[in-house]
Amino acid sequence: MIVYEVKTNFTEHLLTILRDKATDTEDFRKASLKLSEVLITEGISKLPIKKVTIDTPVENNITSITIQKEIIFLPILRAGLLLLPAAINAYSKGRIGFIGIKRNEETLKPYLYYFKSPIVRNGFYFILDPMLATGGTAYLTIEKLIEAGIKSENIFFISLICSQEGVKMLSQFKNIKIVTASIDRELNNKGYILPGLGDAGDRFCSTENVEVIESYGN
């Protein structure tokens, strides 16, 4: 497993906005979009390249490079949706799938309730989830992709922040890549990342402290 922790003054600035509990929904969305695009672009930059010859408006036969790969963006519902606009902005030709996994808040165990994704054998899969906490949800997602015939070396996990425990969990997959802005200190007894940024899904969807209808199956 390879971990790319993208630490710059700009990513730290965006993390400060995201971590601050005083940040309102609008600014949280703006900062998460900007940071997501930085991380997704970093992931794309790790893909294999192809040398090409092009003509510029002022000179011919210039040797350059291009990325001509199938990329499939796979947000984990629902919080992973906050990274999807940035993914499309970064690589507008990317295909899109969805996976729905619910974590039991008592046992912290994940279970799958929805999975629909294009299967491209030699494609590169970018799993989108703003936080890698216990790692259970991410582990199940990667497991499903590998079962579908996707090579582990073609899987990227894009996350705004990670816990050390989550990174350790995914280290069982030897060839995947993690791209994140921070590996935080630890998890608390409820499985939340510390210092973290709270519940990214609730803050992005503006569903903190309001009643929510939630239903799975019939």
Would you list the DSSP string of 102-128? Answer: EE-TTT--EEEEEEE----TT-EEEEE
Determine the distance from the C-alpha atom of residue 107 to the mean position of all C-alpha atoms in its chain, rounded to a whole number: 24
Which residue in the list 41, 78, 202, 207 is annotated as catalytic? 202
Is 202 known to be catalytic? yes
64: left (phi over 0), alpha (psi -120 to 50) or beta: beta
Is 107 known to be catalytic? yes
Enumerate the H helices of 45-159 as residue ranges. 84-90, 136-147
Specify the amino acid at residue 150.
I
Count of other CB atoms within 10 angstroms of residue 43: 22
* Alpha carbons 216 and 218: distance in angstroms, whole number: 7
* Alpha carbons 23 and 206: distance in angstroms, whole number: 12
Which residue in the list 19, 78, 103, 207 is annotated as catalytic? 103
Over its C-alpha atoms, the chain yields an Rg (Å, rounded) of: 18
* Alpha carbons 85 and 129: distance in angstroms, whole number: 13
Is 184 known to be catalytic? no
Which residue in the list 27, 107, 121, 185 is annotated as catalytic? 107
CB 57 within 8 A of CB 110: no
**DSSP-assigned beta bridge partners for residue 10:** none
Is 63 known to be catalytic? no
Enumerate the active-site residues. 103, 107, 199, 202
